Amino acid sequence: MHFKKYISTKLIYLNLDNTLRDAKKLFDAHQIHHLLILDEDKKLVGLITDRELYKQLSPTIGSAKETREDERILSKKVHLVMTRNPVCCLANTSLGEMSVLFNDHHISALPIVNADKTALGIITWRDILRMLAVRYQKKQLDGSQNQA
């Protein structure tokens, strides 16, 4: 199955010393659910999800009721919250192997790296589901055209 076109290669990432405020801005601006955390050599060192971020934040952030504690939390570094050494895979990993990784590790995204852990992209369970849906629809369309 050809899935490489479903891998997002436009890297949206932060560095270890970026803050939760930086993460929130990227999640909000790009409407994404996962951010790669890269070192200065663009090597994958962590991953932060919007869920991990929002577990840290108060509902008063961004409102008139925002407190100094909210400000302190937003100033926290992402490396304090991120998942270190996340499960990842190589670009030539098969869809079957990816599916096993998603299932066995209960994750929703797989960073794609090369052999030296340089980040190349990311694929989510939603990307795989979209790919399967497109394939199914194509198969259904091909079948209905063959019957005509």
**For the chain, what is the HEC assignment?**
CCCHHHCECCCCEEECCCEHHHHHHHHHHHCCCEEEEECCCCEEEEEEEHHHHHHHCCCCCCCCCCCHHHHHHHCCEHHHCCEECCCCEECCCCHHHHHHHHHHHCCCEEEEECCCCEEEEEEEHHHHHHHHHHHHHHHHHHHHHHHC
pLDDT digits (tens, 9 = 90+) for 23-59: 999 999 999 999 999 999 999 999 999 999 999 988 8
Between 145 and 92, whose confidence is greater?
92
**What does pTM read for this prediction?**
0.85
Q: What is the mean pLDDT of residues 123-144?
A: 87
Percent with pLDDT over 70 in the chain: 96
Domains of the chain: 4-147 (3.10.580.10)
pLDDT digits (tens, 9 = 90+) for 66-96: 788 888 999 999 999 999 999 999 988 988 8
Q: What is the mean pLDDT of residues 118-126?
A: 94
pLDDT the model gives residue 55: 92
